[in-house]
């Protein structure tokens, strides 16, 4: 276990070298308070990545531990369906961890991990890294200026190419955590709850399937349309699709992901519109719309006044910043300097919303269970 007052770098490993693992590895090697000491991944391509980072590679966590390496913490970046299996093995060895989203593809297993980690004194940060994105941080800081939030309109729509689905089989299977709902919508559900509080009711309907695929009951979805009710009283709509040509998504709007080009227009790429009694905010262009009070004319705020627009400032290049901020927080969390900003309960809460959406797709409107009701 790392010491609270330790000044030496904390030793980290990355388990899983798919799309996200190497991005985390880059940030670890850039941070002077962290040391990347090993990779775990049995796939043939992992060797090439390990050579690039000049880090030893192991086929299993057991092999790594048997080698004598003693990591303080691990990043769990395996396929979704393997998150809990790997996390339980890490916890049994007293290793803290950051688990990539979604926390699990199985709610009961997520609860078991939560309780087991507590019994082992192991700390867990769920990897909803977009909570650390500067666009989201600035938006959250300014939400109170909207007054009472009444509604939100959200969208995540783009087209994933065929190569993405051919690279690994699990992306094609619902049972293994594939599909736009579990891979992509889960990001936005976490952000919506981070910004506006718990989602309590959902109603969802599938979008048509247009991607060529083998006919199977386990075939992944291509997206859905959702209506959402929040505990605060706010309402929302959300469209998610991974098979349409569109610039309206988090990646193209923020430029966060280096493999997805950022749109240049400030209006293209908008993925959230948040409506309040005192104003409306659009994200990621961070425009805050309001109507000033014309005291000299004795007019009340309303439809006959000119809309004013304030643009909130942000740096131009944020690539890598969310992961860097997340890592910095993770290191402080392990030293007991900060409490986790995305807890296991937060990860379970998102899974409960996903569960309600999946049930709603088959049977109609659903009430979202609380974390306390299943823990």
pLDDT tens digits, one per residue of 82-128: 999 999 999 999 999 999 999 999 999 999 999 999 999 999 999 99
In the chain, where the domains are located: 10-122, 133-314+350-367
Residue pLDDT, tens place only, 346-369: 999 999 999 999 999 999 999 999
Which pLDDT value is given to residue 4? Answer: 46
Burial class (CB in 10 A: 0-12, 13-18, 19+), 162: exposed
Cis preceding linkage at 284, omega within 30 = yes
Decide the pairing of beta strands 280-283 and 287-291: antiparallel
Decide the pairing of beta strands 96-100 and 73-76: parallel
Residue pLDDT, tens place only, 121-147: 999 999 999 999 999 999 999 999 999
- What class has domain 10-122? alpha beta
Q: How far is the C-alpha of 183 from the C-alpha of 47, rounded, in Å?
A: 26
Phi, psi (5° rounding) for residue 327?
-65, -45
Q: Please give the model's pTM, rounded to 2 decimal places.
A: 0.91
Handedness of CA 115, 119, 120, 124 (dihedral sign): positive
Domains 10-122 and 133-314+350-367 share a fold: no
Classified by CATH at the fold level, domain 133-314+350-367 comes out as: Dihydrodipicolinate Reductase; domain 2 (3.30.360)
* More confident position, 142 or 221: 142
* More confident position, 211 or 204: 204
């Amino acid at each position: 276990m790392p010491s609270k007052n330790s000044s030496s770098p904390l030793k980290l490993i990355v388990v899983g070298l798919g799309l996200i693992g190497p991005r985390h590895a880059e940030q670890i090697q850039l941070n002077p308070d962290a040391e990347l000491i090993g990779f775990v991944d049995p796939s043939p391509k992992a060797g090439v990545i390990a050579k690039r980072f000049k880090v030893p590679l192991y086929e299993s966590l057991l092999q790594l531990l048997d080698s004598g390496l003693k990591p303080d913490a691990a990043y769990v970046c395996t396929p979704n369906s393997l998150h809990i299996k790997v996390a339980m093995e890490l916890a049994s060895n007293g290793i803290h961890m950051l688990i990539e989203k979604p926390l699990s593809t199985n709610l009961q297993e997520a609860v078991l991990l939560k309780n087991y980690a507590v019994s082992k004194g192991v700390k867990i940060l769920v990897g909803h890294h977009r909570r650390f994105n500067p666009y989201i941080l600035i938006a959250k800081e300014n939400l109170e200026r909207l007054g009472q939030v009444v509604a939100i309109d959200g969208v995540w729509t783009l087209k994933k190419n065929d190569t993405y689905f051919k690279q690994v089989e699990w992306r094609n299977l619902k049972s293994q955590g594939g599909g736009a709902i579990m891979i992509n919508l889960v990001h936005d559900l976490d952000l919506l709850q981070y910004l506006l509080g718990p989602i309590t009711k959902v109603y969802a309907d599938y979008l048509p399937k247009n991607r060529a695929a083998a006919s199977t009951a386990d075939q992944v979805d291509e997206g859905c349309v959702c209506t959402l009710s929040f505990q605060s009283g706010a309402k929302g709509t959300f469209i998610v699709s991974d098979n349409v040509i569109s610039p309206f998504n988090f990646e193209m709007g923020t430029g966060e992901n280096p493999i997805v080009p950022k749109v240049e227009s400030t209006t293209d790429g908008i993925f959230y519109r948040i409506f309040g009694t005192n104003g409306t905010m659009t994200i990621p262009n961070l425009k805050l719309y309001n109507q000033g009070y014309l005291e000299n004319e004795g007019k009340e705020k309303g439809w006959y006044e000119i809309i004013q627009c304030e643009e909130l400032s942000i740096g131009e290049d944020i690539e890598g910043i969310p992961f860097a901020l997340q890592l910095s927080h993770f290191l402080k969390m392990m030293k007991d300097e900060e409490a986790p900003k995305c807890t296991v309960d937060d990860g379970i809460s998102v899974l409960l919303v996903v569960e309600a959406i999946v049930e709603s797709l088959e049977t109609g409107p659903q009430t979202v269970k609380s974390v306390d009701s299943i823990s």
